[in-house]
Amino acid sequence: MDITAFPEIEAFILHWGEMGTHWGVNRSVAQIHALLYLADRPLHAEEISESLKLARSNVSTALKELQAYGIVRRTHVAGDRRDHFAAETDLWEMTMRISAERKRREIDPTIAFLAELKERIDVRGNVPPHIGERISRMHEFIFTLADWSDQVRRLPRPTLVKLMKLGAKVARFVGGPAPKA
């Protein structure tokens, strides 16, 4: 399957690459992910490199990143020494893994940082009180969201899908008003 044969495939890959850049994922990583998502068989690094016209070394680095996210796995093809790579195609699974990894990399350290900062502010004593309050509120807020995301991530997929489809109607279970539309 040569991607240049289908402009639609190329368009998807380019769009996905751009999306990546808007969300802090580098373009090559996102493009390779898109390519593997569309592929119906595992691809080796050389193929990827040629298809996307990226340096072989760049592909290597990007694949490591995708594996760190847990959304691409290495597989082997009989009679071929080269590593082959396949993307997770279950989109819920993919989303959960990306969110878990980004939480680990960025959110957890931020929570720790805010806790430490609040401590330092309290020790110092002479910082205007509203500063401590704002920092505390941010800490608590991010912690609450992060904790919620951890719980949601552990839900069985079918439960998650049901909840999602329910949308704002879940509000009725906590005594909220019926949603308007």
Residues found near a second copy in the complex (CB under 8 A):
1, 6, 8-9, 11-12, 15, 19, 21-24, 37-38, 40, 89, 91-92, 95, 106, 110, 113, 117, 120-121, 124, 127-128, 130-131, 134-135, 137-138, 141, 144-145, 147-148, 151-152, 154-156, 158-159, 162-168, 170-171, 173-177, 179-180
97: Cα separation from own chain's centroid: 6
CB 143 within 8 A of CB 137: no
Q: Which of 9, 13, 16, 28 binds DNA (CB under 7 A)?
A: 28
DSSP 48-76: HHHHHT--HHHHHHHHHHHHHTTSEEEEE
| From 4, 15, 19, 64, residue interacting with DNA (rule: CB under 7 A) | 64
CB half-sphere exposure, 141, CA atoms < 13 A? 6
In this structure, are strands 83-87 and 72-76 parallel, antiparallel, or unpaired? antiparallel
- Residue with smaller CB distance to DNA, 82 or 172: 82
Partner that binds at residue 41, options a second copy, DNA, none, CB closer than 5 to 8 Å by kind: none
